[in-house]
Structure 1
Amino acid sequence: MSKGKVPYGIIISGVNYGAKLAPPAKKLEPQGGKIGDSWDDGVNDNVRMITVTYDGSGVNSVKFEYAYGTNTVVGDHRELKNDEYITSIKGHYGKRFPPSGAVRSTMETLGDEYMTMLEFKTNITTYQVSGTIKPGYEFVDKPFKLEEEGHKIVGFYGKSTSRIQQIGVYVKPIDDAQANR
């Protein structure tokens, strides 16, 4: 074995003298509309609950709770098991239009894009939340997926107004102990 520095530790004459440090979280490109106030939960690693509110227009809010040791810190309600972690988020963002007329024309030109559907996939199951479509209205939206192979989602950020306009994630590699549970 060669001497010198290797990723996440130091090996000299075959002996590891450094602790194996976890690589830093990676921030994936956010998806969705471009307006709104920015928010960022940062990197938290242990998501324990997801609460999503929605109406006929789309997703209004997302709230995450993170576990730190024995404490739970409120961040936005889907309860996750202790060994469960989020691996991807799929969704749609776009605009909701009334059937016809001047309001539709104005919305096509000036309307905001916002989240209309979110799906959280974990290593165990999938949770989906959709806004309901009001009769006579039409959604025009774009699909997206936030995922990196071999990684788990450890934090969230985005933009919001009265709705979730945009969502992005932080990811970290899934360690061997978690992958084999």
Structure 2
Amino acid sequence: MAQKLEAKGGKIGDAWDDGVHEGVRKIYVGQGQDCIAFIKFEYVDGSEVVVGDEHGKKTLLGTEEFEVDADDYIIYVEAFRDKETEETIVDLKFETYKGKTNKHIETSPGVKFVLQGGKIVGFHGRSSDVLHSLGAYVIFPSTPQLLGKWIKPSARSVFASAVIGKHIVIFGGEIAMDPQAHVGPGQLIGGTFALDTETLKWERLDKLGEDEETPNTRGWSASTSGTIDGKKGLVMHGGKAQTNDRFDDLFFYGIKSA
């Protein structure tokens, strides 16, 4: 049974609910002058594609389409509310189990909230002519395969990595080279994965959570193994952003079994 995650964001606008489905296949995000003006989801139920209603209103600024691969699924949504009123959503980041993300603002443009905790199978929220809030339905698959323990991360290069005990841990990387080679950023990807070298099985590591900052999508990071407060893990510094800017932050992923 799916768990309904409370919609976060503003309180104005009309409530909408797309219900629970087998998975999310496409997401359409429309930009407004200073916030997200429009959103629509396409879901899959078996062999049937279910096109959700349009929430908000399209503008001349265009709509971005984000497609989820058939063997992948949404596990994480990061959103930012307007800093002054917190009644509108100014940016949305969707991330799949394999680490694929939509285009989004790399720097925090407002008050952050996240939706996570399982496989996301539906959305609900509030909207008027713009998007005010967003919530989700999540399920907790009962089989290891659906949890992703048999699924490898998508092909990538220039990722952060470290050997921690019996695990090889990687984060981010580049999945497609830029047309200008290393002059441009290429197509970067997020996601932290661990390979158990004894069982040769991959597992997606948990996000850092809403109370801690989550690493932005990046490649070309400096990385090593390290120990903080007695826990061993991946230490990652800097890297190249999708905007071709550079990061100067530091993150640590601890491995409980290390």
Which of 48, 65, 69 is the aligned partner of 2:42?
A: 65
Which of 96, 103, 116 is the aligned partner of 2:90?
A: 116
CA contact (8 A) 1:32 1:93 kept: yes
Q: Identical aligned pairs, as a percentage?
A: 37
Q: Which runs of 4+ in 1 moved over 3 A?
A: none
For residues 94 and 45 of structure 1, the distance between their equivalents in structure 2, rounded to whole angstroms, comes to 32
1:81 paired with 2:69, answer: yes
For residues 44 and 74 of structure 1, the distance between their equivalents in structure 2, rounded to whole angstroms, comes to 11
CA contact (8 A) 1:117 1:128 kept: no
Instruction: Give 1 or 2: higher helix fraction.
Output: 1
SS at match of 1:129: coil
Shift of residue 61, structure 1, vs aligned partner: 1.2
Deviations along 1:63-95, whole A, 9 cap, x unmatched? Answer: 111122222111162111111100010010115
When the two structures are superposed, what TM-score results if normalisation uses the length of structure 2?
0.48
CA contact (8 A) 1:28 1:168 kept: yes
CA contact (8 A) 1:27 1:171 kept: yes
1:142 paired with 2:111, answer: yes
Unaligned stretches of 5+ in structure 1?
1-23, 96-107, 131-138
For residues 86 and 101 of structure 2, the distance between their equivalents in structure 1, rounded to whole angstroms, comes to 28
CA contact (8 A) 2:73 2:119 kept: yes
Which of 56, 71, 78 is the aligned partner of 1:90?
A: 78
CA contact (8 A) 2:10 2:86 kept: yes
Which of 166, 169, 173 is the aligned partner of 2:136?
A: 169
For residues 28 and 104 of structure 2, the distance between their equivalents in structure 1, rounded to whole angstroms, comes to 10
Where relative contact order (Cα < 8 A, 6+ residues apart) is larger, the structure is 1
Which of 111, 115, 127 is the aligned partner of 2:102?
A: 127
For residues 69 and 45 of structure 1, the distance between their equivalents in structure 2, rounded to whole angstroms, comes to 7
CA contact (8 A) 2:28 2:41 kept: yes
What corresponds to 2:180 in structure 1?
none
Shift of residue 128, structure 1, vs aligned partner: 3.5
CA change 1:114–1:79 in 2 (3 A) is same
Higher Cα Rg, which structure: 1
Shift of residue 172, structure 1, vs aligned partner: 0.5
CA contact (8 A) 1:35 1:112 kept: no
Shift of residue 112, structure 1, vs aligned partner: 6.7
Amino acid of the structure 2 residue aligned with 1:123? Y
Amino acid of the structure 2 residue aligned with 1:50? I
Unaligned stretches of 5+ in structure 2?
55-64, 152-258
